[in-house]
Amino acid sequence: MGLSKVLHRPYPWPMHDFRTPILLAFATLTFFGTENAARAQTQPGGAAAAPPSTGSAQETQARGYWTDPSTGFMWAAKDNGKQVNWHKGMKYCGTLLLTGHSDWRLPAINELQAIYDGSGFATPTPKGVTWALAGRAKGGLLLTGVREWSSSRKLDDRGHVTGYAWQFDFPHGQRWGYDPLGYSGSLRALCVRRPGK
């Protein structure tokens, strides 16, 4: 089976279980190589899709942060790098000292959603097929987990705060709010600050 068929076929696992597609994507790239993987990502008519800007990602990682030109917010170049529950994520960002600044915080869900780059979903796919792991964060930010915590708590139907907080699922480009605050599996903390404060 060619790489394009592997990347485009529908998969039977539940969409909330990301271990299988992550392992499949890694195994596919390892088996077929990155050159063949790039060939599989084509536009109609066979033209190759534009690769993501690696220079921007390298520059972001070297600087340690990225400034979103549309909001002016400064984002840490990478998340915390390990599983973290909501409370520890809040503490991690609240105590982060990066680029001489100590006013980092866990972002609101709208702020996380604003840095979502869904351009990987732009390539047309056959009916009934879903791209796996096509979304990413703007600015070359390094995300090491499946979802990133937000500071935004979920509310119940009466507007009261619940024991849940919103997360953003970058691979699939959607909000997620089904894990309690104490859950940490594949969740990370990406920190943000507003310059001038």
CATH code assigned at 177: 3.10.100
Q: Indicate whether 78 belongs to any domain.
A: yes
Asked if the structure places residue 83 within a domain, the reply is yes
Question: Residue 124 domain-assigned?
Answer: yes
Structure tokens at 171: 């691979």
- Note whether residue 31 is domain-resident: no
pLDDT of residue 170: 92
Distance CA 68, CA 55 (A): 16
In angstroms, the Cα distances linking 166 to 53, 92, 126, 169 are 29, 17, 31, 10
Residue 24 lies in a domain: no
Residue 41 in any domain: the answer is no
- The reply to whether 95 falls in a domain is yes
With respect to residue 133, please indicate whether it lies within any of the assigned structural domains. Answer: yes
Strand pairing of 187-188 and 74-76?
unpaired
Residue 133 has a pLDDT of: 54
The number of distinct structural domains making up the chain is 1
Can you give the pLDDT of all 197 residues of the chain as single tens digits?
A: 444 444 444 444 444 444 444 444 443 333 334 333 333 333 333 333 333 434 578 999 999 999 999 999 999 999 999 999 999 999 999 999 999 999 999 999 999 999 999 886 555 556 665 555 557 899 999 999 989 999 999 999 999 999 999 999 998 899 999 999 999 999 999 999 998 76
The boundaries of the domain holding residue 179 are: 58-193
Q: Report CA dihedral (27, 33, 38, 41) to the nearest 10 degrees.
A: -40
In the chain the beta strands, taken as DSSP E runs, fall at 65-67, 74-76, 116-117, 136-137, 147-155, 161-169, 174-176, 187-188, 192-193
